[in-house]
């Protein structure tokens, strides 16, 4: 439903309600239900997440390059802006974000994305680039800056930290699960904390006596769950977590989750390992075998690598 159709629908609902002589409070209730829907339709972050989830618009634009004007390029701009590769809002030399034109700034952003993922940096939306973009992934952005350089990033080896390198000031942390978290997936998350505990030589983790009192709060969420980073349904963004000392970790409840390598499903422990890394202060790694690599494949499992451990030790000290 686009914004115009949604507005027409709202008008018809209210008109019908008034003809049926519904109480004024009922009409206000209907309007209060629809208006948030209209506002979310205009949210660029929601649009970026949703459209990156199914990947349809990206596949349709394969082969696009600088100078092309093709319907859907504005969505590519939103996608790259969402993951940290450009910022149209703060660059005075860039044309309207809503324009479906493949400009020089977009070409530079595509090249930056290709370099980050070890692809051939052509600046063209080629097949290998599209294949990487439609991979299910973590919702946290890849870069801490919207510039096409690593000069302002805090990078050690192939890993990076959050802006300002926030970290926990204590070594013993507790974690808890929200009331709707599926009980069958609690053990693999426990195991993920245990692996970080054993490998870090720094942190110890224990289950909190209550969810409200935990340092790290873990929940299943759907679509817009009021944290500024809405999920996109099945496919696309799998989960996201916040930097220290926020402590929130959210899994997308619309994904197909599993324990272990199950075809067409995502291993809960593997994704939990990645998101716990964010909770501890790690950004994404450019090393594909690292757990902090941003994307995941269905039907496989993954563990911690030396790159992940070196990143944590660089942040907290050995």
94 backbone dihedrals φ, ψ, rounded to 5°: -105, 140
The rounded radius of gyration (Å) of the Cα atoms in the chain is 21
Q: Give the C-alpha distances (Å, rounded to integers) separating 61 from 65, 108, 136, 262.
A: 9, 17, 19, 31
Residue 275 known to be catalytic: yes
Length of the chain: 318
Catalytic-role residue among 144, 269, 275, 310: 275
Q: Residue 298 in 3-state DSSP?
A: coil
Q: Is 122 exposed, middle or buried (0-12, 13-18, 19+ CB in 10 A)?
A: middle
Q: Residue 176 in 3-state DSSP?
A: strand
Q: Contact, 79 vs 48, CB < 8 A? A: yes
Angle at 85 between CA 67 and CA 52, to 5 degrees: 85
Angle at 45 between CA 254 and CA 123, to 5 degrees: 105
| Active site positions, annotated | 275
């Amino acid at each position: 439903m686009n914004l115009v159709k949604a507005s027409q629908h709202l008008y018809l609902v209210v008109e019908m309600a008034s003809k049926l002589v519904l109480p004024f409070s009922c009409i206000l209730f209907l309007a209060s239900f629809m208006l948030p829907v209209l506002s979310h339709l205009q949210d660029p972050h929601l649009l970026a997440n949703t459209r990156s989830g199914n990947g349809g618009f990206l596949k349709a634009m394969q082969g696009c390059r600088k100078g092309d004007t093709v319907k859907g390029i504005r969505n590519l701009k939103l996608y790259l802006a969402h993951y940290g590769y450009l910022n149209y809002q703060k660059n005075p030399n860039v044309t309207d974000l809503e324009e479906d034109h493949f400009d020089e700034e977009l070409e530079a952003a595509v090249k930056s994305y290709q370099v980050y993922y070890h692809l051939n940096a052509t600046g063209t939306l080629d097949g290998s680039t599209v294949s990487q973009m439609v991979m299910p992934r973590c919702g946290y952005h890849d870069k801490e800056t919207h510039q096409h350089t690593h000069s302002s990033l805090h990078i050690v080896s192939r890993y990076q930290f959050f802006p300002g390198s926030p970290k926990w000031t204590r070594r013993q942390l507790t974690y808890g699960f929200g009331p709707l978290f599926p009980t069958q997936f609690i053990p693999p998350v426990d195991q993920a904390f245990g692996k970080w505990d054993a490998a870090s030589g720094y942190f110890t983790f224990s289950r909190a006596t209550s969810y409200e009192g935990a340092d790290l709060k873990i929940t299943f969420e759907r679509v817009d769950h009021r944290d500024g980073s809405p999920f996109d349904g099945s496919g696309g963004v799998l989960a996201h977590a916040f930097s220290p000392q926020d402590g929130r970790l959210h899994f997308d409840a619309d994904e197909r989750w599993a324990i272990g390598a199950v075809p067409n499903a995502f291993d809960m422990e593997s994704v939990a390992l990645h998101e716990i890394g964010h909770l501890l202060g790690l950004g994404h790694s450019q090393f594909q075998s690292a757990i902090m690599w941003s994307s995941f494949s269905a039907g496989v499992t993954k563990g911690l690598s030396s790159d992940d451990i070196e990143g944590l030790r660089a942040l907290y000290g050995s």
